Amino acid sequence: MFPVRLALLLVGLGLTSAVGRGDPLPGTAPLTWDGDPAARIVGAIDHYLDVRLGTVVADRAALWGRDLSSADAFSKSGEPQRRRLREILGVVDARDPVVLRHAAPIAVGSDAAGAELARGAHHRVYAVVWNVFRGVGGEGLLLLPDAAPRADVVLVPDCDGSPEELAGLGKDLPPGHAFGAQLADAGCRVVIPVMLDRSTTNGGNPGYRHVETSQRETLWRATYQMGRTPTGYDIQKALAAADWLVGSRGTGESARPLGVAGHGEGGRVALHAAALDERFTVALVSGYFQPREANWLEPLDRNAWSYVRDFGDAEIASLIVPRKLLVEDGVHPSGTWTDAHGGAPGRLARPDGKAVVGEFERARALVPGTLRGRIAMVGASPTVAMGDGAFRAFGEALGAERRRPSWTPSVVSGALPDRAARQLRQYRQVLDDTQALVVRAPDARRAFWKDANRGNLAAFTNSTGALRGYFRKETVGVIPAASVPPAPQSRLLYETNGIRGYEVAFSVHDGLPAYGILVLPAGMKDGERRPVVVCQHGLEGRPTDVADPRVENSAYHRYAFRLAEQGFVTFAPQNAYIGNTRFRQVLRKAQPLGLTLWSFIVRQHEVITDWLAAQPYVDPQRIAFYGLSYGGKSAMRIPVWVDRYCLSICSADYNEWIWKCASTTSGYSYLFNSEYDMPEWNLGNTFNYAELSWLILPRPFMVERGHDDGVAPDEWVAYEYARTRRQYVKLGIGDRTEIEFFDGPHTIHGVGTFDFLRRHLAMPAK
């Protein structure tokens, strides 16, 4: 048997431990499992995802409707995918009219030349900033050729590189690092934006609370909840730079080519920017292009909802055609991040060369045969990113000088930008923007819910079907319903005072089980049908925590067993949020496939409740859900999907969930701890906890809340619950919802909730 956490062996209960003895439940086979059921379930989900990843490339074809009849038709046929890509990367905010200005003040009486930072062989360098939207802006360097410009370029460094390196302003830089300077000498205007790095310098909220996770991961946690991503912000800054380059052209210069190039993380930005914006005539991607099915192993800030299901680098490349894409497989960034300080593990390394070529050939195979030459692999240096081969091909595509100019170090005439201060400014802008989105979130949710008809109860429930469908598809993620018979297996776990506990296991899909503990009360008569309460454990919990009388856990107090003492049938399922980094990495594997752990949990609960409903001692109309902590999180999500649950009780979790996940100024926020599994894609703009309760409506719903519960302050809970209650009251069912505040911590109180269960399940007090 698995180890019992926080267990105290209770003496004097007259309890018989019956593991391995006794008959199984009628209609079930003997359960013969060994080892840890929780690990078995998490491992099964992991295996299911591995199988899906193995077929995802072939499966993508059904999502695309490519028109290969002409170059124009092909480009237009990719527009639905461009819209989807914008959505899942969070490139959804309209940019403001761009103004580019010098980053340093210009002295009185001087002209713009007074702000010159450096001078190269045939170009000048300026430190510049530009606006994007709200308070977010780009910052970097502008390189202007001395001769009339022949092309415009947005050049994006790796996130651990700098604009100064690409502009050739650093000390002792090899020529290959001066790609931007050489483009400018060849006649290009070049904007080089700074990228936020993966250091921990600004992790958390500088000046409020520091965490030893990368600043890009902190931003991912805040942005993902609000339907944005760090990459999306990077792309918007690059596109705003392109806005300025195009908008600042003189008369007769509108046809000047516009290119985008980048290395490493900058290559990621360049690839996606070119796919989304058809103004770019050519893109150069260095040190990034490869198969993307192992995205879940990369740094967390690259995680994007459903990305791998819908796209690989080959598919993104196809959105650039008939424009030109150049791929350089030379130097790739490398690094390793661990979970030692509460962050997500990840790594970057040079991919296998054959895999890169395979993805490149797959990209060419996706486009019309006459256009395959528009995707080209350029010669690469093993030591220098964006080498001579890349320069020649990129310059030719831009109509600029094809021969790479010899590099002459620039003469620096001004103070180089303070990199640390610049990083902090850029980080603060994006972090603050997430808080602006949090403030606007109630308005966004109102707009999202605009088609809900609140005229009466029937109209409301009928009009929320599309919202429920969106929640299932875009928040939870859908796997097929059970594909095999449940084949229940059971064994007696204990018997005391006539109450019996059974371990029960089911099949959901081939290799994917469900498991839990069924507790049968004493004194049930033949033909009698009792109500069931499904009692759900929290984070790192097990069914024994709630259903085994030998276990005393200060959070659960054996409440499934206590309810059985009151005459209820109870069932305690094993959910998959157990194993620390192990289950969180399984979730990371799921999210790029458009799935979550909930995708599997709801299917397990469907099988469990269907089986319960078929038992002769169960009233199928009276199956309730009651969960604590992560089990309370379950209470807000599972009943939205599983209609068999006739009511739901959320204990020790209900609160203003968007603040909880995205706030930068609250010690309660998940931004500051190790639970990077908490953000859910775009939830801030679609469903807070009140909205989720409206999807449970018209079924009864209750909140159990201890004043000393550290999950959130009472004020957050009451604020959000007021919206739940108002909707129930306005629809004439105010008697179906309530909240109990009690003087206590993060725990099952079992007073008002037990009364709520007895009342709504028509169960007399015992």
pLDDT in tens, 737-746: 999 999 999 9
Sequence-ordered list of residues with C-beta below 8 angstroms from that of 417, at least 6 positions apart, any chain? 103, 127, 139, 164
Task: For the chain, list the domains and their CATH numbers.
Answer: 16-52+445-476+488-760 (3.40.50.1820), 64-86+98-423 (3.40.50.1820)
**Cα 726 → chain centroid:** 31
Which percentage of the chain shows pLDDT scores above 70? Answer: 95
Per-residue confidence (pLDDT) for residue 23, from 0 to 100: 87
Q: At 114, is the pLDDT very low, low, confident or very high (cuts 50, 70, 90)?
A: low
Q: Helix 313-320 and helix 265-276: axis angle, to 10°?
A: 50
Structural contact between residues 545 and 537, judged by C-beta atoms closer than 8 angstroms: yes
User: Could you tell me how many residues make up the chain?
Assistant: 766
Mean pLDDT of the chain: 94
CA distances from 128 to 96, 149, 743 (A): 17, 19, 56
Q: At 253, is the pLDDT very low, low, confident or very high (cuts 50, 70, 90)?
A: confident
Sequence-ordered list of residues with C-beta below 8 angstroms from that of 416, at least 6 positions apart, any chain? 117, 164, 169
Helical (H) or strand (E) element with 210: strand 209-210
Structural contact between residues 632 and 654, judged by C-beta atoms closer than 8 angstroms: yes
How far is it, in rounded angstroms, from Cα 10 to Cα 339?
37
How far is it, in rounded angstroms, from Cα 321 to Cα 138?
28
pLDDT in tens, 24-81: 999 999 999 999 999 999 999 999 999 999 999 999 999 999 999 999 999 999 999 9
pLDDT in tens, 680-693: 999 999 999 999 99
pLDDT in tens, 260-275: 999 999 999 999 999 9
Amino acid at 34: D
E strands present in 56-135 = 100-102, 116-119, 123-133
Residue 12 has pLDDT above 60, yes or no: no
Structural contact between residues 658 and 684, judged by C-beta atoms closer than 8 angstroms: yes
pLDDT in tens, 489-533: 999 999 999 999 999 999 999 999 999 999 999 999 999 999 999
How far is it, in rounded angstroms, from Cα 74 to Cα 92?
24
Single pTM value for the model: 0.95
How far is it, in rounded angstroms, from Cα 723 to Cα 655?
11
How far is it, in rounded angstroms, from Cα 669 to Cα 660?
5
Q: Could you tell me where the DSSP H helices lie in 614-672?
A: 630-641, 657-662
Which has more pLDDT, 79 or 15?
79
pLDDT in tens, 705-744: 999 999 999 999 999 999 999 999 999 999 999 999 999 9
Structural contact between residues 125 and 117, judged by C-beta atoms closer than 8 angstroms: yes
Strands 335-337 and 346-348: antiparallel
How far is it, in rounded angstroms, from Cα 41 to Cα 505?
11
Residue 10 has pLDDT above 60, yes or no: no
Per-residue confidence (pLDDT) for residue 722, from 0 to 100: 99
pLDDT in tens, 278-336: 999 999 999 999 999 999 999 999 999 999 999 999 999 999 999 999 999 999 999 99
Residue 457 has pLDDT above 80, yes or no: yes
Strands 116-119 and 411-412: antiparallel
If you count DSSP H runs as helices and E runs as strands, how many of each does the chain have, helices first? 24, 26
Amino acid at 49: L
Residue 425 has pLDDT above 70, yes or no: yes
Amino acid at 314: A
pLDDT in tens, 127-142: 999 999 999 999 999 9
Structural contact between residues 159 and 195, judged by C-beta atoms closer than 8 angstroms: yes
> Is residue 105 reached through a cis peptide bond, with omega within 30 degrees of 0 on the bond before it?
no
